[in-house]
Chain A
Amino acid sequence: MRSWKITPKVLPTLVTLFYTFLWAPAIVLIVLSFSNNKYGIKWEGFTLRWYAHIYNNVGVRNALTSSLFIASVTVVVATIAGTLAAYGLYKYKFRGRKFLRTSILLPITIPYIVTAGALLVFYTQVIHIPLGYPGIIIAHISFSVPLAVFVVLGRMARIDWTLEEASTDLGGDRLTTWRKITLPLLLPAILASAALIFPWSFNDFTITYFVAGLGTTTLPIYVFSQLQYGTSGPVINTIGTIFITLPFITLLLMNFLQKKEVT
């Protein structure tokens, strides 16, 4: 009886605690990015000067552009490739299908630092892919495709495939059926995988750092170098805010699009 009475108070407390630990660091960071303190570690009045600072800082701007460019290419290529791969792995029966389906998830389980080292050796010593953009984008795509496959396969398991048959029965050839029926049915999953891949690619440090070579600096790499050489704390806060808000906006946008799709 006692515990029954206590539950309504305990549960909200636990939830509050959990979300505090989840969100508080991010909120602190965002708040401090507007602080006038020159080390960016406590509140000394509101300012936008750090934002002005990074806006005027060519290094930051280039890094941001690079990151956005890489993430965009990765999202487009990886979602398309992942969707097609998932479709093939789900619909076509061939030898080794099970193996391919399981092994596509393998890279996710390997520590990034190991993967990164392996990629560097592979690129430079085995197939000679130039480091920098080509190397980064290929690496990002190959590690994002499994995410897309995973998400799209999950959706495919819940689709009524007689819909495809109904379409062919009503006169739609295979291509039309794919365009008019299959693709719209998979769209929520495709968008969801894009929403996962974009922040992953935008945030990735380890793999990118190894295959970036000289001269290509993404935002995470820029932040790392700033931290390493200990220049300006507040600038890190503002960049951190970008890291938090940009993927968050993507997620919200995707969520909104998905809702629109369902109704």
Chain B
Amino acid sequence: MGNRESILCVELRNVVKRFPGVTAVDHVSLKVEQGKVFSLLGPSGCGKTTALRLVAGLETLDEGDVLIDGKVINDVPPYYRDCSTVFQTLALFPHMTVEGNIAYGLERRKVPKDEIGKRVGKMLELMELGGMEKRRPTQLSGGQRQRVALARSLVLNPKILLLDEPLASLDRKLRKEMQVELKRIQREVGITFLYVTHDQKVALSISDIIAVMRAGKLEQIGIPNEIYETPRTKFIADFMGAINIFSGKIIASGDGKVQLETESGSRVIAPENKDIRSEEVTGISIHPELVELLPVEAGLEGDNRFRGKIVEMIYQGDFIETKISLDQTGEPITAYLSSIQDRESQFSPGEEVLVHWSLESSNILLD
């Protein structure tokens, strides 16, 4: 098993793609291991979709190499590549039935008729689309269309499935369901996913590895909790929802800890990060759900304790978004109080509180 995990499925080597006026993909190198879900995460326009289209062969490379299964495929046209794409718009053929759509790729590969029938039938079963085979895409619900698009690609047994924001068009509840469904299918079939998304929640829950892209470049690659808990840059911290980001410099270090002074003078303690040199640190981030609010009486003894005043409490349903202004520096801090915490502590706007977060909750950042 351990051996199987190290087999490479897709590799990009120093890939560059330029469009008039913009370098969409700027010297990107990455390796996707077989059987894994690899996500390209980033805001729109960061080049993630272009990167995916380069693998699919729908765009031509300007520099670098794209490899599938260890073979350079730069000049192989899309119809001969051993990968398949699920498009954002799904791109189901409107003039064909569900069956016709799923059979399309097999027909192009000249698979014998009876085998096409068998494989399509199997796919319909896997996707729970039984009874839908004669319908047109317009006669299906959003979730069903999604599954037809998946089936159409999966039936070809591609080396890798390329997914371009396939859940973006679904409503929240359905998106959640399909996310689970995708993961199930991926495990069941054991196929590799290259998954492009701008939704950090989807990326966190579906991926084995996440690569965050910004302006055509890779900014960080890691497992989901690395990306979430220890984002390397302010951009990623912000993108992953660490609302509390402060600019500052490290003024002391040792014992696995660093002390950072923010621009307005607050001193924060954070764990050392061996991959980041102290001189290069320009800030710190803290996720709002890791910020605790205590009664003032708890005292200022210990790491990362500040006095502050509650400015605003916004009810969000599953948590209470609480904004606090620090007494000493006036810096704003946001804390997400869980409903239980809120019920126990019963804070209200205008109240003096003690703001606290643990050492491990702070994370030093690069620019």
Report the nearest A residue to B162, measured CB to CB. A169
- CB proximity to B under 8 Å, residues A165-205: 165-173, 176, 180-181, 184-185
Given contacts A171-B105, A171-B108, A171-B109, contact A165 B87 (CB under 8 A): yes
Q: Is the CB of A166 within 8 A of B87?
A: yes
Instruction: Please report the C-alpha to C-alpha distance between residue A168 and residue B77 in the assembled complex, in whole angstroms.
Output: 9
Instruction: Please report the C-alpha to C-alpha distance between residue A168 and residue B56 in the assembled complex, in whole angstroms.
Output: 10
CB < 8 Å neighbour of B58 from A163, A168, A180 = A168
Instruction: Please report the C-alpha to C-alpha distance between residue A187 and residue B156 in the assembled complex, in whole angstroms.
Output: 29
Q: How far is the CB of B25 from chain A (nearest CB, A)?
A: 18
The size bracket of the interface on A is: 10 to 19
Q: Is the CB of B93 within 8 A of A168?
A: no
B residues in contact with A184, CB < 8 Å: 95
Given contacts A160-B89, A162-B87, contact A167 B77 (CB under 8 A): no
Instruction: Please report the C-alpha to C-alpha distance between residue A162 and residue B89 in the assembled complex, in whole angstroms.
Output: 8
What total of chain B residues lie within 8 Å of the partner, measured CB to CB? 24
Beta-carbon contacts of B69-99 to A below 8 Å, as 1s and 0s?
A: 0000000011110001101110111110000
Q: How far is the CB of A87 from chain B (nearest CB, A)?
A: 17
Q: Is the CB of B109 within 8 A of A166?
A: no
- CB proximity to A under 8 Å, residues B90-135: 91-95, 104-105, 108-109
CB < 8 Å neighbour of A169 from B78, B88, B93, B95 = B78
Q: Is the CB of B91 within 8 A of A168?
A: no
Given contacts A165-B58, A176-B108, contact A170 B89 (CB under 8 A): no
Q: Is the CB of B156 within 8 A of A163?
A: no
Instruction: Please report the C-alpha to C-alpha distance between residue A185 and residue B89 in the assembled complex, in whole angstroms.
Output: 16
B residues in contact with A160, CB < 8 Å: 89, 91
CB < 8 Å neighbour of A185 from B95, B152, B156 = B95
B residues in contact with A173, CB < 8 Å: 77, 79
Report the nearest B residue to A187, measured CB to CB. B95
Given contacts A163-B93, A181-B93, contact A169 B85 (CB under 8 A): yes
Beta-carbon contacts of A128-163 to B below 8 Å, as 1s and 0s?
A: 000000000000000000000000000000001011
Given contacts A160-B89, A176-B108, contact A168 B95 (CB under 8 A): no
Report the nearest B residue to A183, measured CB to CB. B95
Given contacts A162-B89, A162-B91, A184-B95, contact A167 B56 (CB under 8 A): no
Q: Is the CB of A172 within 8 A of B79?
A: yes
Instruction: Please report the C-alpha to C-alpha distance between residue A160 and residue B94 in the assembled complex, in whole angstroms.
Output: 10
- CB proximity to A under 8 Å, residues B257-298: none
Instruction: Please report the C-alpha to C-alpha distance between residue A171 and residue B109 in the assembled complex, in whole angstroms.
Output: 7
Report the nearest B residue to A165, measured CB to CB. B58
Instruction: Please report the C-alpha to C-alpha distance between residue A163 and residue B152 in the assembled complex, in whole angstroms.
Output: 13
Instruction: Please report the C-alpha to C-alpha distance between residue A171 and residue B110 in the assembled complex, in whole angstroms.
Output: 10
Q: How far is the CB of A1 from chain B (nearest CB, A)?
A: 44
Q: How far is the CB of B178 from chain A (nearest CB, A)?
A: 19
Instruction: Please report the C-alpha to C-alpha distance between residue A181 and residue B57 in the assembled complex, in whole angstroms.
Output: 19
Q: Is the CB of A170 within 8 A of B77?
A: no
Given contacts A176-B108, A184-B95, A185-B95, contact A168 B89 (CB under 8 A): no
A residues in contact with B84, CB < 8 Å: 169-170
Q: Is the CB of A171 within 8 A of B91?
A: no
A residues in contact with B104, CB < 8 Å: 167, 170, 172, 180
B residues in contact with A166, CB < 8 Å: 85, 87, 91-93
Q: Is the CB of B79 within 8 A of A171?
A: yes
Q: Is the CB of B87 within 8 A of A168?
A: no
- CB proximity to A under 8 Å, residues B184-238: none
Q: How far is the CB of B146 from chain A (nearest CB, A)?
A: 14
Q: Is the CB of B91 within 8 A of A165?
A: yes
Q: Is the CB of A169 within 8 A of B56?
A: yes
- Residue of A160, A169, A180, A181 ringed by the most chain B CB atoms within 10 A: A169
Instruction: Please report the C-alpha to C-alpha distance between residue A176 and residue B109 in the assembled complex, in whole angstroms.
Output: 12
Instruction: Please report the C-alpha to C-alpha distance between residue A176 and residue B91 in the assembled complex, in whole angstroms.
Output: 17
B residues in contact with A181, CB < 8 Å: 93
Beta-carbon contacts of A224-263 to B below 8 Å, as 1s and 0s?
A: 0000000000000000000000000000000000000100
A residues in contact with B109, CB < 8 Å: 171
B residues in contact with A169, CB < 8 Å: 56-58, 78-79, 84-85
Q: How far is the CB of A187 from chain B (nearest CB, A)?
A: 8
Q: How far is the CB of A249 from chain B (nearest CB, A)?
A: 26
Instruction: Please report the C-alpha to C-alpha distance between residue A162 and residue B78 in the assembled complex, in whole angstroms.
Output: 13
Given contacts A163-B93, A165-B58, contact A170 B87 (CB under 8 A): no
Report the nearest B residue to A172, measured CB to CB. B108
A residues in contact with B94, CB < 8 Å: 163, 185
B residues in contact with A170, CB < 8 Å: 79, 84, 104-105, 108, 152-153, 156
B residues in contact with A167, CB < 8 Å: 93, 104
CB < 8 Å neighbour of B91 from A163, A172, A261 = A163
Instruction: Please report the C-alpha to C-alpha distance between residue A180 and residue B92 in the assembled complex, in whole angstroms.
Output: 13
- CB proximity to B under 8 Å, residues A32-65: none
A residues in contact with B78, CB < 8 Å: 165, 168-169
Report the nearest A residue to B110, measured CB to CB. A171
Instruction: Please report the C-alpha to C-alpha distance between residue A184 and residue B85 in the assembled complex, in whole angstroms.
Output: 22
A residues in contact with B91, CB < 8 Å: 160, 162-163, 165-166
- Residue of A170, A173, A181 ringed by the most chain B CB atoms within 10 A: A170
Instruction: Please report the C-alpha to C-alpha distance between residue A17 and residue B77 in the assembled complex, in whole angstroms.
Output: 61
8 residue pairs of the A-B complex, CB under 8 angstroms, read A162-B91, A166-B93, A168-B78, A169-B57, A171-B105, A171-B109, A173-B77, A185-B95
Closest CB pairs A-B (n = 6): A171-B108, A170-B105, A166-B91, A162-B91, A168-B78, A184-B95
Knowing that A168-B57, A168-B77 touch, tell me 19 more A-B residue pairs with CB under 8 angstroms: A162-B91, A163-B93, A165-B78, A165-B85, A166-B85, A167-B93, A167-B104, A169-B56, A169-B85, A170-B79, A170-B156, A171-B80, A171-B105, A171-B109, A172-B79, A180-B104, A181-B93, A185-B95, A261-B95
